A = this chain, B = another copy of it.
């Protein structure tokens, strides 16, 4: 009997003018996508990067929230005027934007009563009914409301919080992957790869990526599938094809 594969989909909404201007390079998308895939079998299907503007946050959030199991937002939950993510999410879901008692206590303890000013207090405000995601780096928690998970933009802080987020998320079937690097150019193997892809249609995803590194030109062929045995047999066919073409397979790349 065929095993049933459970698909859990996600999207990432990166909120921040600094990414759109090119000033800051996003580092969260690749980290978060890998982490979700490896640890929870959750697949990211779409990413959007938008400015710190309430209308745009609301519109994109509602759209992604409707279309995917989860939406992960990054950025815009600090203490300054341009941090409007929590307020915008409250408005999107028509929830009260208010102090979360536990977050308020965590932050009050972290800063001490004297240093707990209004800007810092703002970091305890979120949509009513949110669940907290604890922050071992800098105290200010993230939160989850409905299917939206709200994380900070600073990569090291975001990364330190993922462990505390795990318990809120459903697990999907693990997606297995294998890759083969070979010293050739894409156009020499494109036809053969296409034939193999057609044979494994909808079962194995075959991606082909040229690379130039360590002074070598080559192609990485990446296979992804939820079915381990199909993945392995597809992998074997590709190696056989490359060997027949007398192409060198590169190790450790």
Query: A interface vs B, CB < 8 Å?
Result: 14, 17-27, 29-35, 37, 43-52, 56, 78-82, 117-120, 122-123, 154, 156, 177, 186-191, 193-194, 197, 205-210, 212, 222, 224
CA distance A117 to B52 in the complex (A): 48
Chain B residues contacting A46 (CB-CB under 8 Å) are 20, 48-51, 56
In the complex, the answer to whether B34 meets A30 with C-beta atoms within 8 Å is no
Chain B residues contacting A222 (CB-CB under 8 Å) are 18, 23
A174 to chain B, nearest CB (A): 13
In the complex, the answer to whether A29 meets B24 with C-beta atoms within 8 Å is no
If A48-B47, A117-B187 touch, whether A19 touches B29 (CB-CB below 8 Å) is yes
In the complex, the answer to whether B193 meets A81 with C-beta atoms within 8 Å is yes
CA distance A82 to B200 in the complex (A): 14
Chain B residues contacting A80 (CB-CB under 8 Å) are 186, 189-190, 193-194, 208
Chain B residues contacting A206 (CB-CB under 8 Å) are 81-82
- Partner among B29, B79, B154 whose Cβ is within 8 Å of the Cβ of A49: B29
> In the complex, given contacts A19-B29, A45-B51, what are 7 additional A-B residue pairs having Cβ atoms less than 8 angstroms apart?
A22-B44, A24-B209, A25-B27, A47-B49, A48-B49, A81-B193, A82-B208
In the complex, the answer to whether B30 meets A24 with C-beta atoms within 8 Å is yes
Chain B residues contacting A52 (CB-CB under 8 Å) are 207
A190 to chain B, nearest CB (A): 3
Chain B residues contacting A119 (CB-CB under 8 Å) are 186-188, 190-191
In the complex, the answer to whether A17 meets B210 with C-beta atoms within 8 Å is no
Q: Sorted from nearest, which 10 A-B pairs have the closest CB atoms?
A: A22-B34, A119-B190, A22-B33, A47-B49, A81-B194, A80-B208, A79-B187, A119-B187, A22-B30, A120-B187
Residue of B nearest to A121 (CB): B187
Chain B residues contacting A20 (CB-CB under 8 Å) are 33, 43-47
Residue of B nearest to A212 (CB): B156
Residue of B nearest to A123 (CB): B187
Chain B residues contacting A26 (CB-CB under 8 Å) are 26, 29-30
What would 14 A/B residue contacts be, using CB atoms closer than 8 Å? A19-B29, A20-B44, A20-B46, A21-B43, A21-B177, A22-B33, A23-B222, A46-B56, A47-B47, A78-B208, A82-B206, A119-B191, A120-B187, A122-B190
